[in-house]
Chain A
Amino acid sequence: MIEVNPHAGVKVVVDPIEVISTEKVLVKVQPGCLWTELMQDGRHVGAVIQGPAEYAFDAIAETEEGALGKSFRGDMGGFKIYVGGTDLQGSSRAASHEEFLTRDFSSAEDFIEGVCGALGLHNLHNDSNVSSSGGLGEGVVIWSDDGVKKNVITAKGGSQVLVKDKTVYTLSDESYVMVDDGRVSIRGPGGKRLVIDEGGIIEPEELRNLGPRIAKEVADSLKDLKSTMRRRRREDVPR
């Protein structure tokens, strides 16, 4: 169970720090952010951060034919729940009353109340599966810009995931799944690619228009059948 460490207090970030930093994912927390420590089974597992933060995500898959995908960059609003190994302590100090007020909190208790609300929003109080055993610079960040939709970034062991609005990007070294613009693209380790949109299969090309092609096969078979029946009728029925 993930919970706030009641003894850790609330800190403020004084130097910019990259809580996730891999080749294709970057989550950077800016000075002025308030944060408190998260515990799971008595261990430090991350932090809940509130304040200016930004992300960059290269949803770019390199294939033999060339690169595919997009690169994203944006701000992260609301509370950010970070689970990972990066230590924020070295770039932070205890938050002052003025710093709470700057971030629209009346006190440390008010901030902690907001943190508990964010954990509840993302249903993390009872979810013991959210953990990160990745290396330094790897981890998971969950946040919501509007207090309703959940956004997720993960980076761990060469795999990256971005879930934001209606887009989902999952990339690893050899494969990816992308859901974007009403289109689903899947690429397997062998380089095989499947792309489906509202109109049906787009790739592989041999499966394109499969429905109409099967319908044509059936129609052709029925035509043959009809001509056979007509021929037999002419041959077998005496006049």
Chain B
Amino acid sequence: MYDEEELRDLRKELEEVRQLKESLKAEISDLRRDSPSQKYRRKVHIETPVVDLSGLTESLEVMMEDIGEQIQDSLGNLHDAKERIREKRIFRTAGRDRPRVRDSEVEAIPPERVAAFIGPLGSEERLRILDYLKSGGKTFNELEQHTGRTGSSLTHHLNPLVNAGYVIKGEVRGTYYVTVEGSLAYRLSQWLTSRLESEMEGRRYRDDDEADLEGWY
């Protein structure tokens, strides 16, 4: 939706352009009327102006026409703007239009907020459930067979996932589905695991190298 304020700004800009055009016209008129050389010449040669402004006015006319075209082009470009915006967007990463979260804001998230999102993921059974549901909705029985947990033991793991919004239960057949948020949470958990494993592996190699080097000296 167009913002009223932005439309007002646009109208203001157009008004300024119009005023600028008017002031240019006024300046040309002033030049014609008040040019000292013209006045002087007029006294001597009244019928023949020495300063020929026709060239200037012609160029200004041309300029005005140019400006008119530019205005038309600028407004005409509106049709292309959407395409340009879209073209630019193709190369952007997902979520870039969202308000950027500063590192300091991330670091300021208190443990209880982290726990609200991470806590429900905190067991192998729950992660196994999310992983299984990625392939589509499953009934309670199917989840029991997959996890090896039955009845309240499975509910104990399912409920935190449902309460966190990671899993949704269909009322018709009692089918469980992993939500978009649940998929994202699981994917981020996998990414975190991958990063930490790689970091720790790198450190182990470095420690080993240092130990080898110490052996040399």
Q: Which residues of A contact B (CB under 8 A)?
A: 22-26, 56-58, 60, 62-63, 65-73, 199-200, 205-219, 221-226, 228-230, 232-233, 236-238
B146 at interface (Cβ–Cβ under 8 A)? no
Instruction: Tell me if A223 and B178 are in contact (CB < 8 A).
Output: no
Q: Among B16, B75, B94, B170, point to the contact of A226 (Cβ < 8 A).
A: B16
CA distance A68 to B180 in the complex (A): 7
B24 at interface (Cβ–Cβ under 8 A)? yes
In the complex where A67-B179, A206-B90, A215-B7 touch, is A226 in contact with B137 (Cβ < 8 A)? Answer: no
Instruction: Tell me if B169 and A71 are in contact (CB < 8 A).
Output: yes
In the complex where A26-B172, A209-B97, A219-B13 touch, is A238 in contact with B74 (Cβ < 8 A)? Answer: no
Q: Which residues of B contact A72 (CB under 8 A)?
A: 171
In the complex where A58-B171, A206-B85 touch, is A212 in contact with B6 (Cβ < 8 A)? Answer: yes
Q: Which residues of B contact A230 (CB under 8 A)?
A: 20
Chain B residues 58-88 with CB under 8 Å of chain A are: 59-60, 63, 67, 70-71, 74-75, 77-78, 81-82, 84-86
Interface size on B, residues (CB 8 A): 57
Count how many pairs of residues, one from A and one from B, have CB atoms less than 8 Å apart in the complex: 149
CA distance A213 to B67 in the complex (A): 24
| Closest Cβ–Cβ distance, residue A105 to chain B (whole Å) | 31
Q: Which residues of A contact B178 (CB under 8 A)?
A: 66-67
B127 at interface (Cβ–Cβ under 8 A)? no
CA distance A224 to B181 in the complex (A): 44
Instruction: Tell me if B17 and A229 are in contact (CB < 8 A).
Output: yes
| Best-surrounded residue of A200, A211, A218, A232 (most CB of chain B within 10 A) | A218
Chain B residues 69-118 with CB under 8 Å of chain A are: 70-71, 74-75, 77-78, 81-82, 84-86, 89-90, 92, 94-97
| Closest Cβ–Cβ distance, residue A183 to chain B (whole Å) | 14
Q: Mark B17-51, 1 if CB is under 8 A from A, else 0.
A: 10011001001100100000000000000000000
B182 at interface (Cβ–Cβ under 8 A)? yes
